[in-house]
Structure 1
Amino acid sequence: MDKRPHILQTTELCVTATSRALVRDVSLTIAEHQVFGLIGPSGAGKSTLLRALNRLTDLVPGLKVTGDVQLHGQSIFKSGMDANALRARVGMLFQQPVVFPASIVDNVLFGARRLQSLSKSAQTELAESALQEAALWSEVKDRLKTPAAKLSVGQQQRLCLARTLATKPEVILMDEPTSALDPRSTEAIEALIKRLKSRHTIVLVTHNLRQARNVADHLAFIGVRDGVGQLLCSGSVDSVLGRTDVAEVDEYVCCQ
């Protein structure tokens, strides 16, 4: 049993779109400084669940979230909770790199500049620190003012990670962060995930069982029953992937 302090907890979390349930009654506990993997078939609601953890679901018209998500025991839905401040603490890395039409350094500092007033020296120091942590500094340190769009796709994904890291998040949500990358870039991101968990908690959506086995400390399987995404089991990587008594898990693993 994991004895590390809990950082995130969901209780009977449900997400609906108009009258249709996407995810129902998901209760999870996520410990600090681990890679918590979410696996399951396409359409089960894993990405929707991930977005509910930092209220990105608020930005999608028609979505309604019930139940609760707690960060360090405090509800993220409580009155007075600043959603932007929450998303700085619980950052997000998407499936496709999202770079802005600006320089590399302006991309890194985009979120941090909006959250706080930073001197020029503080900006310089923060950009270098974030790029170092994202293992990109050595590749871009001599061209920080060049357009981010000139980077390779793998570099762009690490740039997006650096932008997230610049806000000093406690948790990083990753939605299939390597699905658009070549094998070499995928290896680089996976190596980063393993290093980052010493300072951050990672919640990772992946369809890649090799990746789940390689980087995850804990897994939750989100499957579809009665047309709705539901938590069917969770536990250690081996225990979840070995659940032959859960038909949906057994079929999913056999088909990979």
Structure 2
Amino acid sequence: MPHDENTLRQVGALHSSCIDQGFLSSLGPRFLTVLYRAIDRSDDAVLIVETDGNGVIGFVTGGSGMGPIYGQMIRDWPNLILALLPILFQPRKVLGILEILKRRDKDDPGGDLPRHELFSIAVVPAARGTGVAERLYHGLAAHFLARNVPAFRIVVGETLTPAHRFYTRMGAKPVDKGASSPSVKIMLGGMAAKVGRVVVPGGLHTIGGYIRPAGRSLGLVTDTPRLDTVRPFTDQRTAVDTALRKASDLKEGWDAHGAALREHLG
């Protein structure tokens, strides 16, 4: 059963106060209420809430990608517009929202990572250490398991040590310790099985690129610096510039060798 509007407003306010370092929190509690209403109404996501006599003391959300949720938000356009009115004259935030919406259909994590994920979890300070977070986490795991989803992923900023400790204690297993850095890719759909037949173009070698399977696709890949979503952009400008340069180099390599590679793969 969907949660009532008062509960959704409390969830949005709790996100804003407890998950206060991300981009979404900068959009304000009214926008977050629209977001959590969309999660609550989506068939592809779930919002689990714990309350006491005074209201919401914690929540967790999860699902199979944010694409359907952003679509639900757009269908709720009257409330979305009202929520966005205060930031319409803040170009950086508007551009950030447009970028999120542009990526709404690109939820495939690639590789062997599960498609389903934990989106967000928060508990009021007074209820931390009382078992609320553990019940919420296990509630989400049970929800997924009941839908034949045996595993889900959790994306956590490298600097969030308490979160890493909590998820490890819940049984989560880190998958990228010692792994290569993030990357930009050109994906060739349905060609993962042909990875052994591919000779890496010389131009790709020169930018440190390589070829690997990514799900059912074959990826032309170049690694990029790791970014932390909770750190300010200004502190990571050099890393972003490097990533953009490497993405441009990869595109130039594809422009030069893509036709021959496709012909080789048949």
TM-score higher than 0.5 here?
no
| TM-score, structure 2 normalization | 0.26
Structure ranking higher in strand proportion: 1
Larger radius of gyration: 2
Structure of higher RCO (CA pairs closer than 8 Å, 6+ residues apart): 1
| TM-score, structure 1 normalization | 0.26
Structure ranking higher in helix proportion: 2
